[in-house]
Chains A and B, each alone.
Chain A
Amino acid sequence: DAKTTQPTSMDCAEGRAANLPCNHSTISGNEYVYWYRQIHSQGPQYIIHGLKNNETNEMASLIITEDRKSSTLILPHATLRDTAVYYCIVRADNYGQNFVFGPGTRLSVLP
């Protein structure tokens, strides 16, 4: 089972920041936090990942709390094309470790 909990759905106004929370209270020291998204039935798209430091790339920012029990994905200026299901996944450093997807958060960006 997934080791994360996320809200089922969220809305965000176009042009505003979308802040997607994720709880992973049982995360272990060697587990990374990953975010993927899935638009319609397309393949999951990698967004960002981190271990304990905040991370930023061209798509998003990832804020991880100091105790690592939760994190927030920030899309700084959401567009209609960001409407998707967003998955927060924790992943251990084991050989060939697969991703365990939960139900994710369905983000609707509204005009």
Chain B
Amino acid sequence: EPEVTQTPSHQVTQMGQEVILRCVPISNHLYFYWYRQILGQKVEFLVSFYNNEISEKSEIFDDQFSVERPDGSNFTLKIRSTKLEDSAMYFCASGRLAGAQETQYFGPGTRLLVL
């Protein structure tokens, strides 16, 4: 069964450093998403991406964040200058189509720790 994969599984970085989190969505999916979950808190939406552009973003997704689909398979989240409060699990998700009847499938996550 196809799965969303994410790398790395864990990332430790120093405050102020740039990090890139990588995701390989399910191959025939067209809609891509990033969510994050701070330890002990709810899963929060960051951004959705379709047709090589952002379709929706939350207020969390400020100028420090960017997303890219550099090739036909990868989908990346870049945090330009990490802050302590960026420490969280980051989940990538993908969906075949948009619409309420279309399921999103989540990856296993990347645990980011900013020191």
Contact = CB atoms under 8 A, between A and B. Distances in A.
Q: Do the two chains bind? A: yes
A49 B103 CA distance: 8
Contact of B42 (A51, A94, A102): A102
Interface in A61-104: 87, 91-103
B108 to A, nearest CB: 5
Contacts of A87: 43
Contact of B50 (A30, A51, A96, A103): A96
B60 to A, nearest CB: 12
Nearest to B56: A96
How many A residues touch the partner, as a band?
20 to 34
Given A31-B100, A43-B91, A93-B100, A98 B56 contact: yes
B109 A42 contact: yes
SS class, residues of chain B in contact with chain A? strand
Interface residues of B, number: 29
A38 B56 CA distance: 24
A101 B111 contact: no
A46 B103 contact: yes
Contacts of B55: 95-96
Given A96-B50, A98-B56, A49 B89 contact: no
Interface of B: 4, 31, 33, 35, 37, 42-45, 48, 50, 55-56, 58, 89, 91, 93, 98-101, 103-109, 111
